[in-house]
Amino acid sequence: MIQKVDTLVGRRKEQDTLNQIVLSKEPEFVVVYGRRRVGKTFLVNDYFKDDYAFKLTGLAKKSKREQLANFATALNRYGDGVKYKKPRTWYEAFDRLRELLEAKKMKGKKVVFIDELPWLDSRGSNLISALEHFWNDWANTQSDIVLIVCGSATSWITKKILKNKGGLHNRVTQKLYLRPFTLAECREYIISRGLAMEDKEIAECYMIMGGIPFYLKNLRRGASLSQNVDEMFFAERGRLADEFDALYASLFDKSENYIKVVEALSKKNKGLTREEILQATKLTNNGHFSKILEDLANCDFIRRYRGYGNNARMSVYQLTDPFTLFYYKFIKKNAPYDKPFWQYQIGTRQHDTWAGLAFEQLCLNHHIQIEQALGISGTATKVYSWTTKPDATEKAQIDLVIKRADKVVNVCEMKFYDDIYTMKKKDADYIERRVRIFRNEEKVRTAIHPVLVTTYGLADNPYSHVFQNVVTLKDLFEK
């Protein structure tokens, strides 16, 4: 029986799911997917401690012949002394795998882990057909088999496995989609690596890199955050200098079209409608374009917001991936740099403008924590962004609107500040004006509660009353 050792940081739900899979009395077909560097392989390997009946990792950009040779090597590694010849086809490869598993003597589940499955699928390889036959003809009848497939090419995984219309239709028994770490998980991971960082610094780290474990792993002890950012992204031969192109190429076929979309969205903080994206990118309005938007949303790079009240006419797509936003704001134009670029940016107007916008995205990615801080985590809610109609006389925009089942609407103002935030008369007038325009245009008849989300809190003065609630960075770090 597999004995699990709790060494992972975060991923509590995923570990619980793996526990259920190990204890299951039925065959399990598990898909683990998510963007590059998010920790998919680490999760599986750390959980099972290499206690596999068979494990294979696909080879990047290699031929069918080379992939099959690699498969034969794995068969011989796990074959308990049996020598397997290189298979000529994927049908033959999976037949050999069946022979190995039937002969394997193990207690509990026989776990088969095929990592980077999309890399095995060269043109005309018949990989999926052979996998279908392996699962449907045999593995699906073996109560002790756990087949885990994994890959960063999320669009491939979705199309070929999760939405398969052939022999694998509805065959997946469990799917684990790994999202980036939350702020709380980032802090837990950073502490586990012995790094000394305050919460505000961790928040700014998230605003640059998102909650991507591999990026956090590259933080060097003893260096400040700004020094680390220079070393990773701006220095010549920086540790992650080429990450942007590699990221999108690993996830999507024809990644250049995906990059066109995110680049267009990077120029509009509030987002763009489908029609506006088409105009900006010159892409064709067809099913492939719809797939691009769907894939980007499935990988947490963008989100689709309907207008307030589910008004489809006002739907916008917004770029929400912190790393992509940071890339277009700074890295693309300034790397490699011959001096410490990011260290010189701290405190400049350009830095402060970016920080304000990046903090808004951080808050959008942690709206669940905001709801917890408001005491409404048990209340049904819907989250929107809102902007006035194109022909409106008075223009206004609210990045985060929470519509609650208890007949209250929260409109959130987000401020990334170095100290306790102090309201001025012009700030209070601005908030009250936005609430008035929002109420009138949307004909809101329920209570509207303005909420401040800020770093350290709100100073009490004659203008602070405009906010009904204050949410701080400490609240955003809650699990």
The answer to whether residue 5 is domain-embedded is no
Identify the bridge partners of residue 174 per DSSP, sorted by sequence position: 30
Q: Is the pLDDT of residue 338 over 90?
A: no
Identify the bridge partners of residue 111 per DSSP, sorted by sequence position: 146
The answer to whether residue 1 is domain-embedded is no
If asked whether residues 372 and 341 sit together in one domain, one would say no
Q: Please state the domain count of the chain.
A: 4
Other Cβ atoms less than 10 A from the Cβ of 348: the count is 10
If asked whether residues 399 and 472 sit together in one domain, one would say yes
Question: Rounded to 5 degrees, what are φ and ψ at 447?
Answer: -70, 140
Q: What is the pLDDT of residues 5-39, one digit of tens each?
A: 346 788 889 999 999 999 999 999 999 999 889 99
The answer to whether residue 126 is domain-embedded is yes
Rounded alpha-carbon distances, angstroms, from residue 248 to 82, 211, 242, 301, 319: 41, 17, 11, 10, 14
The answer to whether residue 362 is domain-embedded is no
Q: Which two tokens stand for residue 357?
A: 């916008």
If asked whether residues 313 and 420 sit together in one domain, one would say no
Listed in sequence order, the residues at least 6 apart from 454 whose beta carbon sits closer than 8 Å to its beta carbon are 414, 415, 416, 417, 421, 470, 471, 472, 473
Question: Rounded to 5 degrees, what are φ and ψ at 30?
Answer: -115, 135
The answer to whether residue 80 is domain-embedded is yes
If asked whether residues 449 and 390 sit together in one domain, one would say yes
| Mean pLDDT (the chain, rounded) | 92
If asked whether residues 55 and 187 sit together in one domain, one would say no
d(CA 22, CA 111): 9
Contact 174, 21 (CB under 8 A): yes
The distance from CA 264 to its chain's CA centroid, rounded to whole angstroms, is: 20
If asked whether residues 255 and 237 sit together in one domain, one would say no
Question: Rounded to 5 degrees, what are φ and ψ at 299?
Answer: -95, 10
Q: Is the pLDDT of residue 445 over 60?
A: yes
Residue where a domain stops, chosen among 143, 158, 177: 177
d(CA 194, CA 221): 7
d(CA 63, CA 328): 35
If asked whether residues 23 and 67 sit together in one domain, one would say yes
The answer to whether residue 249 is domain-embedded is yes
Contact 417, 341 (CB under 8 A): no
Crossing angle (nearest 10°) for helices 255-266 and 243-251: 120
Other Cβ atoms less than 10 A from the Cβ of 412: the count is 24
If asked whether residues 19 and 109 sit together in one domain, one would say yes
Q: Which two tokens stand for residue 453?
A: 């989300």
If asked whether residues 71 and 168 sit together in one domain, one would say yes
Residue 316 has a pLDDT of: 87
Residue where a domain stops, chosen among 352, 386, 411: 352
| CATH at residue 414 | 3.40.1350.10
Strands 54-57 and 110-115: parallel
Residue 3 has a pLDDT of: 41
| CATH at residue 155 | 3.40.50.300
Q: Is the pLDDT of residue 384 over 60?
A: yes
Residue where a domain stops, chosen among 160, 177, 194: 177
pLDDT band at 314; cut points 50, 70, 90: low
Identify the bridge partners of residue 29 per DSSP, sorted by sequence position: 147
Map residue 98 onto helix, strand or coil: helix
Q: What is the pLDDT of residues 264-295, one digit of tens each?
A: 999 998 889 999 999 999 999 999 999 999 99
d(CA 217, CA 199): 17
The answer to whether residue 70 is domain-embedded is yes
d(CA 88, CA 434): 67
d(CA 161, CA 132): 10
Residue 6 has a pLDDT of: 42
d(CA 139, CA 129): 14
Q: What is the pLDDT of residues 36-63, one digit of tens each?
A: 899 999 999 999 998 999 999 999 989 9
Dihedral in degrees, nearest 10, Cα atoms 277, 283, 289, 294: -40
Residue 313 has a pLDDT of: 60
If asked whether residues 383 and 437 sit together in one domain, one would say yes
| CATH at residue 313 | 1.10.10.10
pLDDT band at 309; cut points 50, 70, 90: low
Residue 188 has a pLDDT of: 94
Map residue 54 onto helix, strand or coil: strand
The answer to whether residue 2 is domain-embedded is no
Map residue 176 onto helix, strand or coil: strand
Identify the bridge partners of residue 54 per DSSP, sorted by sequence position: 112
Dihedral in degrees, nearest 10, Cα atoms 109, 113, 118, 119: -150
If asked whether residues 167 and 309 sit together in one domain, one would say no
Q: What is the pLDDT of residues 72-119, one digit of tens each?
A: 999 999 999 999 999 999 999 999 999 999 999 988 999 999 999 999
Helices (H) and strands (E) in the chain, counts: 22, 12
If asked whether residues 466 and 398 sit together in one domain, one would say yes
pTM over the 0.95 mark: no
Mean pLDDT of 251-275: 92
Residue range(s) defining the domain that contains residue 433:
367-476
d(CA 294, CA 28): 27
Contact 155, 251 (CB under 8 A): yes
Map residue 198 onto helix, strand or coil: coil
Strands (E), 301-444: 302-307, 311-319, 381-387, 397-404, 408-415
